[in-house]
């Protein structure tokens, strides 16, 4: 849900939002977006992906995975703060990790669709992630039990690769990892 635009939001405004609020907030193009806490299906899918990738990274230290809430700030443009469901940052890009947040472009961002975020995730965030050069973006759809994978080619996201629950998902950013999507969508 987009809030009324009274002004362009800054990171300081964002940090001043009340703690303990059950909502997640993001600032995209200077607009504040509020999202209610995700449902349990969403959380299970997020935990499944996180568990699979974390186990792999424990054996293959290629980088780190983070789950929401975790601020990603696209610099140098100051009005872009997102909280993807999952974020992977490779060792090569680890300089973007700070004590408080991620400041720069991660290797892989994952958004799990919900009723309140699906349009934003498919349009606004897709455009934002492409503009800032996020190498890979997954859109996970719990309703259709499918994953769209966008991989940056010459600064653009061409048509997505489509995967369903019976497929195996691999990423060039996590070489050697093969994710069985039936494990991702299991309850």
In SS3 terms, 37-99 reads as CCCHHHHHHHHHHHHHHHHHHHHCCCEEEEECCCCEECCCCCCCEECCCEEEEEHHHHHHECC
Examine residue 24 and state whether it is found in any structural domain, yes or no. no
Examine residue 18 and state whether it is found in any structural domain, yes or no. no
The pLDDT of residue 99 is: 94
The pLDDT of residue 182 is: 97
Report the CATH number that the domain containing residue 105 is assigned in CATH.
3.90.1570.10
Examine residue 51 and state whether it is found in any structural domain, yes or no. yes
**Tens place of pLDDT for every residue, the chain, 187 residues?**
555 555 677 777 777 777 766 677 777 777 778 777 888 999 999 999 999 999 999 999 999 999 988 889 987 666 788 999 999 999 999 999 999 999 999 999 999 999 888 999 999 999 999 999 999 999 999 999 999 999 999 999 999 999 999 999 999 999 999 999 999 999 7
The pLDDT of residue 56 is: 98
CA contacts within 13 A on the Cβ side of 10: 3
For residue 145, what are the domain limits? 38-184
Distance CA 79, CA 117 (A): 19
What total of structural domains would you count in the chain?
Answer: 1
The pLDDT of residue 78 is: 63
Examine residue 22 and state whether it is found in any structural domain, yes or no. no
3-class secondary structure, 170: strand
Q: CB count, 10 Å around CB of 110? A: 24
Examine residue 146 and state whether it is found in any structural domain, yes or no. yes
Give the single-character DSSP code of 116. Answer: T
Examine residue 29 and state whether it is found in any structural domain, yes or no. no
Examine residue 43 and state whether it is found in any structural domain, yes or no. yes
Distance CA 91, CA 106 (A): 11
The pLDDT of residue 147 is: 98
The pLDDT of residue 22 is: 67
140 φ, ψ to 5°?
Answer: -100, 125
């Amino acid at each position: 849900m987009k809030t009324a635009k009274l002004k362009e939001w800054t990171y300081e405004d964002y940090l001043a939002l009340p703690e303990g609020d059950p909502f997640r907030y993001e600032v995209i193009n200077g607009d504040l977006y509020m999202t209610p806490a995700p449902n349990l299906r969403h959380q299970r899918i997020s935990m499944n992906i996180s568990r699979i990738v974390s186990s792999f990274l424990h054996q293959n230290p290629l980088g780190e995975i983070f789950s929401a809430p975790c601020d990603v700030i696209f610099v140098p443009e100051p009005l872009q703060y997102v909280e993807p469901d999952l974020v992977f940052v490779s060792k090569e890009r680890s300089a973007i990790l700070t004590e408080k947040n991620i400041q720069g472009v991660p290797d892989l961002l994952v958004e799990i669709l919900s009723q309140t975020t699906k349009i934003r995730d498919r349009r606004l965030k897709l455009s934002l992630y492409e503009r800032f050069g996020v190498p890979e973006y997954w859109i996970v759809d719990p309703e259709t039990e499918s994953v769209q994978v966008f991989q940056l080619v010459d600064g653009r996201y061409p048509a997505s690769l489509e995967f369903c629950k019976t497929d195996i998902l691999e990423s060039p950013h996590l070489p050697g990892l093969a994710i069985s999507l039936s494990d991702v969508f299991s309850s």
